[in-house]
Amino acid sequence: MRPTRLLALTVEETTDRYADLIRAKTTTGQLSPGTAEVYIRDVLTFSALAGPHRVLDELDGEDIDSVLLAFARKPDARRRTPTTAPQSAASQARFRRSLSAFFRHALLSGWVQLDPMPAATVRARQRGDLRTERRALTREQAGGLITAARSLAAAPPDTGRRDDQRTELRDALTVVMLATLGPRVSELVGADLEHFFTNDGIRYWRVLGKGGRTRDLPLPPPVAALLDAYLAEGRPLLDRGREPRALLLSWRGRRLARGDVQPAIDRVLSRVAPADRRAVTPHGLRHTTATHLLAAATDLDAVRRVLGHSDLSTLTRYRDALPGELEAAMRIHPLLPP
């Protein structure tokens, strides 16, 4: 039931109240911390773009269109170097969904008389299930990144820094896990030491995924070896007792934050040969895992379980076309002799 009177609250007041509600839902288990963080980030971005001191009920469809366009042009804050590229269609669609959820709550709470979202006309154009800009790295680009990470892990320690500031093994492990296992960045930074175990000689990672779901991922031997090296030589230098459970720690001994992951990728990327170097985000590495597993004809359900999805149809959004894959498929056609 809607409230009987309208509350003339500013955009800033309403988004702050909504963010508090999202945090409360995280505490009660209704939302995962990673999902809540995205919702909160989106409504705070909306507040900044719409004007924090405007009355929320005064916003109409044209105002929402202006906000959506401003967000589309907003540079990707995850990248170190400035970029003029617009936000991806997927990011724009997610932002719009976050605003729709916010205004549904605003309507029920008496902050607005009418929901302005149906009057908004700006929508991101998506080309089928493929993005305008490829997210997945090619095999050569991904191979160069993984090779750079492994060489970084094997390099002699940098004597120019204190022992507790050496993060080479941690950065290498971060990149290799993202590129080969495809976890969400929230799953990686949320990993604890107790989530890794051995069964019949195989190392596993018990991933705590969205919606409270868990999955046990077997680690490929090179990944398991890098994990062991980090635990034996890298993490003890970082562990100052503040986060005894967390797998990945900052040099100050705190659990690695989501925002720390992109700089780690960039540090490894700087060691890749220019011909194979291409900027990539943590989510782009998740796309890379899915794309190459699917291109290698890995069982669809196995790929779904690796990524932690409940529905096979979701895999279509993680599929990029790869150069030469159609030619390769025709060369090994199952109905024709070699």
Report the distance separating Cα 322 and Cα 319, nearest Å.
Answer: 9
Query: Is 245 a residue of the active site?
Result: no
For residues 124 and 89, the answer to whether their CB atoms sit within 8 Å is yes
Q: Out of 166, 184, 258, 292, which one is annotated catalytic?
A: 184
CA distances to 186, 198, 205, 247 from 194, rounded to whole Å, are 17, 11, 9, 9
Q: How do beta strands 196-199 and 214-218 pair?
A: unpaired
Residue 52 has a CB neighbour count (10 Å cut-off) of 16
Which candidate in 166, 215, 267, 309 is catalytic? Answer: 309
Task: Based on the residue annotation, tell me whether 204 is a catalytic residue of this protein.
Answer: no
Q: Which helix (H) or strand (E) holds 238?
A: helix 235-238
Measured CA to CA, the distance from residue 130 to residue 249 in angstroms comes to 35
Closest CA to 288 of 179, 149, 175: 179
Residue from 166, 203, 286, 292 carrying the catalytic annotation: 286
Determine the Cα–Cα distance for residues 46 and 102; give it in Å rounded to an integer: 10
The enclosing H or E element of 293 equals: helix 282-295
Residues 54, 105, 210, 271: which is the catalytic one?
Answer: 210
Q: What's the CA angle centered on 327, arms 326 and 328, to 5 degrees? A: 90
Examine the residue annotation and report whether 210 is marked as an active-site residue of this protein.
Answer: yes
Is 25 noted as a catalytic residue in this protein? Answer: no
Max CA pair span of the chain: 75
Catalytic residue among 96, 283, 292, 304: 283
Which residues are identified as catalytic? 184, 210, 283, 286, 309, 318
